């Protein structure tokens, strides 16, 4: 049995104060094994981004703890790399310089910075684009730079919030394949937020479905499909898993829809 790399214990997050206070996350417990790939899915507004940002140390929890290798963390750290959909690159820096900037900020020594940045630009296949500015890169390329940047200081945990959400289907699939190969190569532990059930199943060892109001974990679904996983997802068992996860999210979306207008819960 592999040990837990990342643990979330009894996590609660409340927004607002007094009578208008409401619980965004309620008693979240989650344990992710070393080198496990876990996706987090659930209706829009159920607290996925809030949970990820607390794990990243970007906002506090009101109750509960985050443990990395059994040690409590409550601030951003080199042990956790972060890639968000809108976690933008700095527009006045080139792809290479964006990575160098992150390395400098995490305390890597001067002489090493250029070499490590170039190595990670190559890892995501952007050698020819290292000197381009973000505005001169496609959406997929920008996300590749963001991934290279998050990996450059060698975190063992990668936290990703809908990182491919804005990409077209073909680019998205390329990025999923790239991520799978990097995950395998570096034995990363990944927590990946997506609203795309197919993407969650394609990438993950386990899919965690969240429920809303208050945000909490509804169920864990093991994805025991063989790897590497094909493009057409015709593997025996795939359809059942897809139907199960989608059904679970829909059931939850319908439950919330009874509490509020439908267009605010789809996503």
Ligand X SMILES: Nc1ncnc2c1ncn2[C@@H]1O[C@H](COP(=O)(O)OP(=O)(O)O)[C@@H](O)[C@H]1O
Q: Which residues here bind ligand X, judged by CB under 6 A?
A: 15, 24, 42, 44-50
Upper half-sphere CA count for residue 112 (Cβ side, 13 Å): 9
79/252 with CB nearer ligand X: 252
Assign 20 to helix, strand or coil: helix
- Between residue 55 and residue 114, which ones bind Mg ion under the rule CB under 5 A? none
What is d(CA 243, CA 221) in angstroms, rounded to the nearest whole number? Answer: 12
43/73 with CB nearer ligand X: 43
What is d(CA 191, CA 231) in angstroms, rounded to the nearest whole number? Answer: 22
175/249 with CB nearer ligand X: 249
98/213 with CB nearer ligand X: 213
When CB distances are held under 5 to 8 angstroms depending on the partner's kind, the choice from Mg ion, ligand X, none that residue 46 binds is ligand X
- Our CA dihedral for 96, 121, 127, 85, rounded to 10 degrees, sits at -80
Shortest distance, position 164 Cβ to ligand X, whole Å: 15
When CB distances are held under 5 to 8 angstroms depending on the partner's kind, the choice from ligand X, Mg ion, none that residue 159 binds is none
Shortest distance, position 47 Cβ to ligand X, whole Å: 4
Q: Which of 31, 49, 53, 97 binds Mg ion (CB under 5 A)?
A: 49
How does DSSP assign 95-146, residue by residue?
HHHHHHHHHHHTT--HHHHHHHHHHHHHHTT-GGGTT--GGGS-HHHHHHHH
When CB distances are held under 5 to 8 angstroms depending on the partner's kind, the choice from ligand X, Mg ion, none that residue 97 binds is none
List of residues contacting Mg ion (CB under 5 A): 49
């Amino acid at each position: 049995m592999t040990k837990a790399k990342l643990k979330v214990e009894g996590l609660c997050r409340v927004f607002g104060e007094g009578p208008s206070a409401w619980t965004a996350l309620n008693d979240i417990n989650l344990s992710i094994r070393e080198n496990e790939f876990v996706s987090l899915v659930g209706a829009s507004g159920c607290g996925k981004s809030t949970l990820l940002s607390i794990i990243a140390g970007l906002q506090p929890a009101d109750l509960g703890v985050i443990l990395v290798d059994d040690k409590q963390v409550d601030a951003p750290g080199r042990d956790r790399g972060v890639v968000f959909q809108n976690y933008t690159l700095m527009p006045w820096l080139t792809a290479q310089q964006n990575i160098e900037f992150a390395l400098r900020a995490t305390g890597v020594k001067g002489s090493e910075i250029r070499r490590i940045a170039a190595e990670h630009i190559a890892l995501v296949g952007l050698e020819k684009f290292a000197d381009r500015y973000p505005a001169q890169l496609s959406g997929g390329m920008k996300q590749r730079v963001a991934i290279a940047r998050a990996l450059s200081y060698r975190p063992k945990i990668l936290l990703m919030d809908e990182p491919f959400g804005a990409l077209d289907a073909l680019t998205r699939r390329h990025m999923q394949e790239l991520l799978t190969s990097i995950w395998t190569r570096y034995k990363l532990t990944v927590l990946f937020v997506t609203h795309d059930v197919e993407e969650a199943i394609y990438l993950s060892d386990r899919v965690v479905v969240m429920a809303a109001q208050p945000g909490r974990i509804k169920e864990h679904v093991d994805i025991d499909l063989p790897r590497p996983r094909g493009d057409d997802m015709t593997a025996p068992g795939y359809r059942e898993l897809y139907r199960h996860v989608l059904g679970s999210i829909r059931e939850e979306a319908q439950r919330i829809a009874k509490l509020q207008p439908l267009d605010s819960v789809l996503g």
